[in-house]
């Protein structure tokens, strides 16, 4: 691959008033594809910079979603900030913001105002609940949206609801903002006009809830919470081997069930047992079947169990912790980790999913607060005074 090959978004400029995760996650995807992303931060910086200090003093959240960006520190409430934003947006292609409800409008940066002045500009608002409706002005955080979208209600054990271990509402909103921006760029290439994109975290995560929603159609009971096991397919979930290794396995059809009984359970007759001969029966009688499976698998080490599952062509995987994922042999074999620069030196970063043989993803530095302020202002024909103001 030619490392200098043109990237899909080379020449596209994105200006983002962003903090936390949803908008920064969106704009990092754009930066990965070559877009110039100017991250406008408060003088004290995005508050996500201070979530923790786990990455050699930097925040784990911030390192994850802010590589390949330029940081412009700006007091948006100052008079000078309006001129800076006007000059930035006059030549920008995309404007992204996930400020508190109504904050962008108070700064004169609503979609209607911006599109009147910059008709080719693509404006993307990311919020908890969207730009209208009775929940419009409510603050929204990832856990709250996981709860509002019903995600938490179907995740966990029969006795306790559990949130996802990752920021799934933020990620969902960020990815839908990213894909909407890409489609808006394609549309602008045909029409010459920008778009206003209104992305709601609630709507993004509710889209992901399609299966449990339809399973509960017209008041039917929702899928039961089954921990790490599947709520309606069995056996499909974690099983513990004799050495304590937890192996995740999943059966999808009766052919796999027969192979599981023959090659893993050493009991071919079990496949036609009237209690377990269909998935519905296996799910209904899972307590009885779990007892049989655990008795057999408890005599095998994790390696032996996975060898039998592979021989039977039964899908399986290790239940890895974070240390295991850092060292995952498949990620290493495919060269998925590279170093990126940062204020504390080189840090490992995972390449974006999807290998494209036409270009290399941009894997640029993680910026310090305001690192590019002076250069950006000079580019705009402005000068930063000794008092911090703009001349």
Distance CA 338, CA 7 (A): 18
DSSP state of 390: B
- Reference 337, options 361, 356, 357; nearest CA is 361
The alpha carbons of the chain give a radius of gyration, in whole angstroms, of: 25
At residue 74's C-alpha, the angle toward residues 69 and 76, to 5°, is 120
Secondary structure (3-state) at 249: strand
Active site residue 61: no
Secondary structure (3-state) at 32: helix
> Which residues have C-beta within 8 Å of that of residue 127, sequence separation ≥ 6?
98, 101, 136, 140, 198, 199, 200, 201
Report whether 33 contacts 6 (CB < 8 A): no
Q: At what angle do helices 168-191 and 22-32 cross, to 10 degrees?
A: 50
Which token pair is 33? 């594809």
- Of 61, 196, 230, 372, catalytic: 230
Which token pair is 246? 């937890």
What pairing do the DSSP bridges indicate for beta strands 36-41 and 156-157?
unpaired
Report whether 318 contacts 248 (CB < 8 A): yes
Report whether 332 contacts 273 (CB < 8 A): no
Distance CA 260, CA 313 (A): 9
148: left (phi over 0), alpha (psi -120 to 50) or beta: alpha
Report whether 308 contacts 300 (CB < 8 A): yes
Among all residues, which ones are annotated catalytic?
230
């Amino acid at each position: 691959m030619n490392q200098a090959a043109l990237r899909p978004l080379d020449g596209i400029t994105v200006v983002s008033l962003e903090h936390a995760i949803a908008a920064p996650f969106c704009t990092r995807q754009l930066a990965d594809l070559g877009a110039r992303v100017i991250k406008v931060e408060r003088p004290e910086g995005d508050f996500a910079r201070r979530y923790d200090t786990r990455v050699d003093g930097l925040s784990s959240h911030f390192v994850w979603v802010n590589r390949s960006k330029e940081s412009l520190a700006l007091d948006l409430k100052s008079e000078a900030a309006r001129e800076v934003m006007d000059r930035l947006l006059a030549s920008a292609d995309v404007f992204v913001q996930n400020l508190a409800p109504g904050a962008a409008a108070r700064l004169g940066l609503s979609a209607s105002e911006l599109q009147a002045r910059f008709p080719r500009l693509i404006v993307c608002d990311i919020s908890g609940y969207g730009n209208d409706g009775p929940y419009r002005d409510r603050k929204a955080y990832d856990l709250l949206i996981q709860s509002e979208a019903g995600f938490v209600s179907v995740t966990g054990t029969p006795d306790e609801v559990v949130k996802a271990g990752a920021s799934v509402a933020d990620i969902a909103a960020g990815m839908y903002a990213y894909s909407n921006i890409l489609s808006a760029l394609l549309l602008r290439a045909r029409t010459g006009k920008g778009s206003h994109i209104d992305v709601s975290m609630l709507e993004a995560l509710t889209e992901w809830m399609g299966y449990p929603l339809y399973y509960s159609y017209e008041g039917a009971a929702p899928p039961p919470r089954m921990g790490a096991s599947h709520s309606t397919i069995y056996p499909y979930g974690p099983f513990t081997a004799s050495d304590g290794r937890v192996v995740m396995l999943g059966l999808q059809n009766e052919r796999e069930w027969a192979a599981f009984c023959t090659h893993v359970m050493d009991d071919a007759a079990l496949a036609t047992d009237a209690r377990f001969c269909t998935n519905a029966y296996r799910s209904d009688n899972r307590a009885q079947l779990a007892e049989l499976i655990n008795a057999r698998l408890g005599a095998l080490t994790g390696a032996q169990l996975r060898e039998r599952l592979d021989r039977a062509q039964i899908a399986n995987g290790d239940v890895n912790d974070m240390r295991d994922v850092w060292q995952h042999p498949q990620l290493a074999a495919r060269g998925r980790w590279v170093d990126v620069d940062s204020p504390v030196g080189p840090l490992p970063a995972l390449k974006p999913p999807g290998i494209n043989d036409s270009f290399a993803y941009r894997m640029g530095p993680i910026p310090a607060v305001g690192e590019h302020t002076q250069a950006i202002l000079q580019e705009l024909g402005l000068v930063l005074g000794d008092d911090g103001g703009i001349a």
